[in-house]
Homo-oligomer: A and B are copies of this chain.
Amino acid sequence: MKNQQLAETVKGWLLEAGELIKQRMKNSLVVSTKSHRSDLVTNVDKEVQQFLVERIEHFYSNDHILAEEDGRNYLPNMDGRVWIIDPIDGTLNFVFQRENFAIMVGIYEEGIGQLGFLYDVVKEELYWGGVDIGVFCNDRKLLSPKNLGAKDGLWGMNGAIYAQNIGNVQKIGKESMGVRIIGSAGIEFISLLKGNTVGYISNLYPWDYAAGMILVNEFGFKGSFLDGSQIDFQSQEKFIVATDVAYGEVMKNVVNF
């Protein structure tokens, strides 16, 4: 019940943030590079993060925030209630494609996922839900996808990990129905929720997996770092999430990391 009320509040903020993004997309973006020439941030990433941070700090002033931009990208622990935010996940897609990106928000309490939100702004599809709620796309409740094996579906992957065969992941590509590279963790988690893919492997920061993990957990997916250790919201790590069956198969028989 408490989660449901909070979910309604956050959904309202995200729809507002989506409108802001659509407005800004009518004009040129101000694009800056971060660590290298294809690690981009735009004025819109920063503006959306500020929009969300201001509301959280106003209405939930005791909560903590971990977010991609503006020096908010580290928390020493997950004590209390923590909001984990990626204002625009898939910034390269946002800049070059003007689609295939998502706003992501995950809410944790004492390290336990409560509510997750993945908003595909261009498609106007807001995936949301969590503990005691299940998973919805806008107003439509989703059914859990089939618990398929690793070979029986498509996999999402990060381009560099796939090209360099890190952890032996090319074997997964060869033995499964194939690999897709979308370039946004948020859109990849949405693919898992819809049953479009059976697993996803990438190199992710906490804000890339925080929201999505809460939602796929509701459907029994398994996720961890690629070495099998538990996700810890601390730094960028190689990451895998898949159906329960597919996760077990590839971690036992394929992944060597």
Contact = CB atoms under 8 A, between A and B. Distances in A.
Interface of A: 38, 92-93, 96-99, 153-154, 159, 162-163, 165, 170, 173, 176-183, 191, 194-197
Contacts of A177: 38, 92, 96
Given A177-B38, A179-B181, A181-B179, A154 B97 contact: yes
Contacts of A180: 159, 181-183
A196 B93 CA distance: 8
B182 A173 contact: no
Contact of A162 (B38, B97, B154, B162): B162
A153 B196 contact: no
B183 A159 contact: no
A154 B96 contact: yes
Contacts of A196: 96-99
13 contacts: A38-B176, A38-B178, A92-B154, A96-B197, A97-B196, A99-B196, A159-B179, A162-B163, A163-B170, A163-B173, A163-B179, A178-B183, A179-B181
